[in-house]
Structure 1
Amino acid sequence: MVKNKENALGLRALLLANDCNPDWPSIPAWTYKFARTIANYIDVVVVTQIRNKPNIDRDGMGKARVVYLDTEKIAAPLYKLAEAMSGGANMGMTIKTAMGYPSYLAFEWAAWKHFRQDLRNGQFDVVHRVSPLSPTIPSPIASWSRVPFLIGPINGGLPWPEEFKAEIDRGREWLRYFRKAYKLMPYYQSTYKCSAAILAGFDHSIAELPTVAKLKTINFPDPGLDPDLFTLTSRPKQEQMTILFVGRLVPYKLPEVVIRAFAGSSILRQHRLLIVGSGPARPRLEQMIEAQGLGRCVELLGQKTQAEVGVLMRQADIFAFPSICELGAGVVVEAMACGMACVVVDYGGPATLVQPDRGVKIPMADLNHLVLRFTEELEHLVKDPDRVAHLGRAAHHHAITYYSWDAKARKTLEIYNWVTGRQQVKPDFWDQPHLS
């Protein structure tokens, strides 16, 4: 393997990264940035799918070596079938995860065949399954390898809110009713029994883990951010504030909550609402904006690149995010890093990310009550620019301290040291990384 000359820790890691692509949003981009940052500190080999090769070759993987595996004969047909069953790219995520089960097993079997001898010969100190993030997809190598095995940060298991059961059908999420059947699938038990450490994104993921995994589990929220794209800038005080929503335009994200808040508030109509994202809900949102006469203050901007989102976040003042079943909410961390005052629903990932000293949390309720509370809180904020600025500064400090890629890499290295016996104390995500 290619040696990292700056590897003062002397660690060698094999990262299993099925989804790893700098251009693809969500998990693939997350995995790419995570793996590339880890390789700044230790020797890393990243094993990923051949489909990611063009984009990774173009941008590079930093100091990591990349090995590509081709299991597309299995993965591609299953992906197309999942798209057809789910209704498109932004729908039926539970269906897509389930259909990815056999595809991922094929990937890991190919990885095992490729690296089996290296693992037996002590070429690696740790094996880390970085993606997929779903706890429903097991990892056979956990039991096949003698090398300490880590999985995560996994994120899943968030119950669907009772107030929004109808959204399950609208979002083609009917398979959620059978989700817990994954615990009966092959390799599930051995994955968590044989892992040396389990990184679990939030409390809702930790709660779903088997008892055998609890002592090895580390709370490790999965969102990460690039400070070069998402950072704090000075915002001149202006009479008109900008409120921003960023996310897929799908039922459970509820962008309509913010539009309805503007529709019912003469105060908010004096300000701006920008909505970034694409998805099947867009035509209905356009109709709402036209019917309510909001064309002068509400604008749908469509899909934007990460760099473009970063610019918008540095310019806007308040981030309104009414999603009601958000596992991680990396977009909230990005908004916090840009010094935005965030208004979120007190459920799932956002409930951990946003606390009263750095944002506003709205209690879970039905649609009408969410609209009412978002209206009230947004009105309070636009009337109090000093509070908006104070919340934004606190949010920025928290986000940069815990969620920058470098901070997350350093904490991961503490965990590697722990599972290899080089560190006796079990790492805590909320302690500051102390590696030099």
Structure 2
Amino acid sequence: MKKKLKVLLIIEQCNPEWSSVPLVGYNYYKEISQLVDCTLVTHGRNEEALQKFPEHKNIIYIHEGSFSPIYHKLVSSITFQGRVNWPLYNALCYPIYEEFNNQVYQQFHISVSKGDYDIVHAITPMMPRYPVKIIKACHNTPFLLGPVNGGVPFPPGFQKVARQEFAYFNFLRAVGRALIPGYVETYQQADKVLSGSTYTLNWLKDTFSIPDNRISLFYENGIKQEFIETQNAPKNLNYINLLFVGRLVPYKGADMLLEAISQLDQEIQNKIRLTIVGDGSEKKPLEQQVKELKLESLVKFTGWVKSQDIVQYYKNSDIFCFPSIREFGGAVVLEAMACGLPCIVVNNGGIGEYVTEETGFRIEPSSREYVVREVADKIQILVNDQTLRNQMSFKCVERVKDFEWGRKAEKIREIYEDLVKQKADKTLNSDLALKKVEA
């Protein structure tokens, strides 16, 4: 039996009870730990949630100092003003991450230098903003980074939304690259970088001069096996059920979806119902928009729904409408596809790569007016063509199987094995070259 690789897995955000990046980090850990001899290093804030699973062993928790919670409250008070200023928040949170980063280095640099691990893999933070200091100890141990994702710009025709989302603070990314110690070196020295979208991959290659053989496309999001469609719930045959799932913030485009529905012929409107699952700063303006467009009989808002309960909304729906104009990962699209829902999305970021011509429609973000018009057109096509809906539904389920977490972990293990072999070959060639010189 082949010996399991010994892996140091660094996932600062790793929590099964949270959403977004912490949940993604946890899903990677859960599946990877079943395939390798894994030591997980994570932040102390995740300890309570992870300890509820006795099967999770060999976890090292890095606890923050007494000043960090105070500093985080200060950052939150500055950046959470009705709507979150994420570019500023991420920049100001660097000292909190750096405390974790330094402690990981202090605790593990000796063992990594000695070769106690076959590979070191850092998964979070997923945004390409911060360094990973332990790479300094990876002299003979392969270092894998990612998948990292982010940096996707707002489309030129959506500058009003960009301002609402504080895009004018994005200059802080370049400031960080110039000022944060070890940031550039992390990307330039990593044995392999995994990127979560084609845009980010090309940006990383150009920004850090990473050669093709050291960077690969690897979508960061996945789907649970039990989520993948086996049997849909009985549908309401009186209507075609449209679904939107996401935070109700400007760039997610729920307002464009409502406007698109208002432009549909009455005959089509009579055939559809829309459910909007989620909460956020735009909920009240969206509810007001529904009233102004006289769509009260067609649209229902659920508010925030627990992640484990959302699946029922997918299974009760027929079409997924998600005109987000700037999406890095877009896990909700994978969830919808897993439940057999043809998807209507905007082609900017990761979601435009999940959806193919066989599984839905990708709309170019030329302008707000164009997106609204195209969303209305694609809804009409799918409402009128049940055969097309059924064909796309089947293809969605087939497509999403490649994103199942277990399969993704298997691919990660294959990357581990390749990196270990490459490092061993490189070391052997160096030793042979040295012996020739000495001879």
Confirm or deny a common fold (TM above 0.5). yes
Structure 1: 5+ residue stretches without partners? 1-6, 426-436
Superposed CA deviations along residues 326-372 of structure 1, whole A, max 9, x for unmatched, are 01111111111111100000111111111101111111122222111
Superposed CA deviations along residues 46-103 of structure 1, whole A, max 9, x for unmatched, are 111111111111245x454211111253542343233223225962222222123222
1:213–1:106: structure 2 CA closer, same or farther, 3 Å change rule? farther
Q: Percent of aligned pairs with the same residue?
A: 28
Read off the aligned partner of 1:199 and give its amino acid letter.
Answer: L
Specify the alignment match of 1:19 in structure 2: 13
Q: CA deviation at 1:254?
A: 1.1
Greater CA radius of gyration, 1 or 2?
A: 2
Distance in 2, matches of 1:236 and 1:271, equals 16
- Residue range with higher mean Cα deviation, 240-249 or 163-172: 163-172
Structure 1 position 116 matched with structure 2 position 109: yes
Specify the alignment match of 1:259 in structure 2: 258
Q: CA deviation at 1:186?
A: 1.5
1:196–1:423: structure 2 CA closer, same or farther, 3 Å change rule? closer
**Is the Cα contact below 8 Å between 2:338 and 2:396 reproduced in 1?**
yes
Distance in 2, matches of 1:18 and 1:72, equals 15
**Is the Cα contact below 8 Å between 1:230 and 1:335 reproduced in 2?**
no
Distance in 2, matches of 1:347 and 1:175, equals 20
Specify the alignment match of 1:247 in structure 2: 246
Distance in 1, matches of 2:269 and 2:175, equals 46
**Is the Cα contact below 8 Å between 1:17 and 1:31 reproduced in 2?**
yes
Distance in 1, matches of 2:71 and 2:246, equals 26
Superposed CA deviations along residues 350-399 of structure 1, whole A, max 9, x for unmatched, are 11111101111111122222111101110110111221121111111111
Distance in 2, matches of 1:240 and 1:295, equals 15
Superposed CA deviations along residues 377-422 of structure 1, whole A, max 9, x for unmatched, are 101101112211211111111111x211101100000110011017
Read off the aligned partner of 1:133 and give its amino acid letter.
Answer: M
Specify the alignment match of 2:430 in structure 1: none
Specify the alignment match of 1:367 in structure 2: 368
Specify the alignment match of 1:411 in structure 2: 411
Q: Secondary structure of 1:208's match?
A: helix
Give the alignment partner of residue 222 of structure 2, picking from 216, 221, 224. Answer: 224
Specify the alignment match of 2:284 in structure 1: 283
> Which residues of 2 match residues 152-167 of structure 1 at below 5 A?
152-167=146-161
1:423–1:298: structure 2 CA closer, same or farther, 3 Å change rule? farther
1:369–1:76: structure 2 CA closer, same or farther, 3 Å change rule? same
Structure 1 position 145 matched with structure 2 position 138: yes
Read off the aligned partner of 1:292 and give its amino acid letter.
Answer: L
Q: Secondary structure of 2:34's match?
A: coil
Distance in 2, matches of 1:248 and 1:54, equals 26
Read off the aligned partner of 1:134 and give its amino acid letter.
Answer: M
Specify the alignment match of 1:339 in structure 2: 340
1:87–1:95: structure 2 CA closer, same or farther, 3 Å change rule? same
Structure 1 position 171 matched with structure 2 position 171: no
Give the alignment's TM-score, normalised by structure 2.
0.90
Q: CA deviation at 1:317?
A: 0.8
Specify the alignment match of 2:386 in structure 1: 385
Specify the alignment match of 2:326 in structure 1: 325
Give the alignment partner of residue 193 of structure 2, picking from 195, 198, 202. Answer: 198
Q: CA deviation at 1:307?
A: 1.8
Q: CA deviation at 1:169?
A: 2.2
Higher relative contact order (CA 8 A, sep 6+): 2
Structure 1 position 132 matched with structure 2 position 130: no
Distance in 1, matches of 2:376 and 2:59, equals 49
**Is the Cα contact below 8 Å between 2:274 and 2:300 reproduced in 1?**
yes
**Is the Cα contact below 8 Å between 2:50 and 2:56 reproduced in 1?**
no
Q: Secondary structure of 1:228's match?
A: helix
Question: What number of residue pairs does the alignment pair up?
Answer: 417
Specify the alignment match of 1:29 in structure 2: 23
**Is the Cα contact below 8 Å between 1:16 and 1:48 reproduced in 2?**
yes
Structure 1 position 77 matched with structure 2 position 75: no
Distance in 1, matches of 2:50 and 2:195, equals 27
**Is the Cα contact below 8 Å between 1:150 and 1:197 reproduced in 2?**
yes
Distance in 2, matches of 1:334 and 1:141, equals 35
Distance in 1, matches of 2:122 and 2:83, equals 25
Specify the alignment match of 1:103 in structure 2: 96
1:165–1:232: structure 2 CA closer, same or farther, 3 Å change rule? farther
Distance in 2, matches of 1:423 and 1:337, equals 38
1:309–1:122: structure 2 CA closer, same or farther, 3 Å change rule? same
Distance in 2, matches of 1:59 and 1:275, equals 33
Read off the aligned partner of 1:27 and give its amino acid letter.
Answer: V
Distance in 2, matches of 1:109 and 1:418, equals 28
Higher helix share: 2
Q: Secondary structure of 1:165's match?
A: helix
Distance in 2, matches of 1:173 and 1:363, equals 20
**Is the Cα contact below 8 Å between 1:19 and 1:31 reproduced in 2?**
yes
